[in-house]
Amino acid sequence: MDSVVSDASPGVSPLLDDEEQLQAWQTDRTRAPIATKIVVAGGFGVGKTTLVSTVSEITPLQTEALMTEASEETDDLTDTPEKLTTTVAMDFGRITLDDDLVLYLFGTPGQQRFWFMWDDLVRGAIGAVVLADTRRLADCFPALDYFESSGLPYMVAVNHFDGSERFEPEDVREALTIPARIPVMIMDARRRISVIETLLALVGHALDVTPEQPR
C-alpha cells in the first residue's frame, strides 16, 4: 500500500527542511497537479492534529494552544488526561498521491466554542473525514449532523486508541445510526499507511457521489 505515495524528486528547496522533498510537479512547470481540499473533523481530542501531522509531507501548520484552568468547565479530559494542548483555529498539511493528486488537509477545531469557523474551513472541500473515538462516540454527532445537512461527502474513521475496546465498522455504524451510503473505517491516526488508506477511501467516495460537471 506504500506505493500509493509518490516518490520525491531529487533536490531540496532552501525553503524546505531536509525531510521535505520536492514533488515532481514542483520541478516541472509543464505538469499541473490536481489539487483537492479535504477537511478532518470530529470531537475534542479525537486525533485530528495527529492525523494531519502523521501524513503531511510538509511541516504541518498547527494552531495549538496550551490548555489552562479556564477550559476545565468546557473541555472534558476524562478519557484524554495526557492532553495538554488544543487546536484553536485549524491544522493544515499536504500530501501528494499518485497521478499528481495533491490533497490539502484542513483539521477543524473540536470544541463547540470554535464551531463558527467550520463554514469557512469546509468551503471548497471535496469531502470530509469525521474522526470518532469509541470511548466518546457521542462527541462526533455534531460533525455528523453538520456534514449531513451541508451535503458535503464524508466518511467516518474510527481512531483506535491504545487500551480502548476495538469494534467492527458495522457496530459503529449501528451505534451512530450512520446511513449505509457512508463509508466507515477503523484506523490509527498515528500510522501513516492507515491515514493514507482513509484519505483514499474518502476521495473514492467523493468521486462516486459527486455528480460529474458538464464540460
113 within a domain of the structure (yes/no): yes
1 within a domain of the structure (yes/no): no
Structural domain boundaries enclosing 37: 23-208
What are the φ/ψ torsions at residue 117 (nearest 5 degrees)? -85, -15
Measuring CA to CA, which residue among 10, 91, 76, 70 is closest to residue 43? 76
Q: What is the mean pLDDT of the chain?
A: 78
pTM above 0.85, yes or no: no
122 within a domain of the structure (yes/no): yes
Task: Express each pLDDT in 9-55 by its tens digit.
Answer: 333 333 345 445 666 656 665 666 788 999 999 988 899 999 999 99
215 within a domain of the structure (yes/no): no
CATH assignment at residue 134: 3.40.50.300
Q: Could you tell me the three cell numbers for 201?
A: 477511501
The domain tally of the chain equals 1
Q: What is the pLDDT of residue 13?
A: 38
142 within a domain of the structure (yes/no): yes
55 within a domain of the structure (yes/no): yes
